[in-house]
Amino acid sequence: MTKSEMWDAIEEIAKVKMVVNMARTSMGCKWERGWFEFVRKVWRMESPGWGWDESNCIYVITAPYTRGEYVGETKCGAFHRWRGHIRKTWKGMQELYLGMRKVGPFRTVLTPLYCWGRVTEKIERLRNEGKYIWERGARWNIRGRQEGGDIRRVGGGSEVIFGQRRKFRKVIRLRKMEEEEMRGKECYIGGWRKEREKEERGREKAKDDAKMRALTARMARRPWKWVDEDSEEHRAVKEVRTMPETKVKHMVRMVTSGMDATSRSIARYNAKNALRKRKGIVWVHVKVKSTLMSNWRVKREVKDELRRWSKEVKTKKDLTIIMEAQYATSAGRSMIQALNNTEHEAKKRRDEHT
């Protein structure tokens, strides 16, 4: 078999794989069904024509059973471009080639998406490519932290979205002001908006965690005296007294779980004194000592009961309770008698002692 015959066979297999993949994704998971609806919408409502042998087209490369997706444009045919990607798989360092290398280049599925049926300019192909990159949030079109699209205002108030290419590097970069203007519009469908909001929430949470770690580290340095109002300790006390209850709980969890014994005791002492004059929050120390504490089921029931009681106090009296609970297993009466009673040992026979 010659090389051309081999690639002809691979092309026929790629056509069959595309049909099978469309049938499979129509009944797959939520993401796969969304991808299937997106492709069918473009085929039926947007694409002027469709054909495997179309030269000027937008194509999609996907990896089955994953969310790996790449949107590209070409003027030489989708299969010819896919063959070029396969040749670069083992040398390229872009996200596409790293993903294809991970799943296997011949396991990816090629799907022609948008076909013009005529000769088009590169700028027109890039506009459509960038629109679909933005709409799908294609994972393999992203390099590092750089998004695969850019929004520009052109004449008449319309939006033009460019895909990612080296020659258009300056045009590609996102601008935050224009991104804010585009929130809620059609280019955010396909899951991109939810992922973006999730990333923003994650960044905000990371910032809050960093601030809280810095605060707890200051609390664990030394016991506070609060003599000078301009001191760092005084500012930290004011911050603790004015923060919301949710952040107070977060601070207590971080103090109790993320420090060693010495730092934890100092930070706990400072937190108690800072919250002493605050209304609505009470710091309580509870010590449970019983012979049953060695049983983990009893210990769990005691914890649940204390937690239930603190919630009832919160709902009835609007009082938040920060509880330090210590669980200790006390010795039974028979064990204490056996250790303290020497009369029993004295009555033993001599051979029993030996």
Distance, CA of 295 to CA of 291 (rounded, Å): 9
Look at residue 201 and tell me whether its pLDDT is greater than 50: yes
Distance, CA of 135 to CA of 191 (rounded, Å): 8
Q: Which fold has domain 3-190?
A: GIY-YIG endonuclease (3.40.1440)
Vertex 189: Cα angle to 114 and 132 (nearest 5) = 25
Q: How many CB atoms are located within 10 Å of the residue 306 CB?
A: 16
For the chain, what percent of residues have pLDDT higher than 70? 75
User: From residue 182, how far is each of 98, 160, 187, 271, 330 by CA, in Å?
Assistant: 31, 12, 8, 45, 66
Q: What is the pLDDT of residue 230?
A: 56
How would you classify the pairing of strands 69-74 and 109-115?
unpaired
Distance, CA of 57 to CA of 51 (rounded, Å): 9
Write the pLDDT tens digit of every residue in 166-198: 434 433 444 444 555 555 544 444 445 666 777
Look at residue 165 and tell me whether its pLDDT is greater than 50: no
Write the pLDDT tens digit of every residue in 203-259: 888 888 888 888 888 888 888 776 555 566 677 888 888 888 888 888 888 888 778
Q: What is the pLDDT of residue 150?
A: 39
Write the pLDDT tens digit of every residue in 131-158: 888 888 888 886 433 333 333 333 333 3
Q: How many CB atoms are located within 10 Å of the residue 275 CB?
A: 20
Distance, CA of 215 to CA of 309 (rounded, Å): 30
Q: Where are the beta strands (DSSP E) in the chain?
A: 57-62, 69-74, 109-115, 150-153, 159-162, 281-290, 320-329
Q: Which two tokens stand for residue 260?
A: 């060693």
**Residue 222 per-residue DSSP state:** S
Lowest-confidence segment of 6-10, 321-325, 327-331 by average pLDDT: 327-331
pTM for the structure as a whole:
0.45
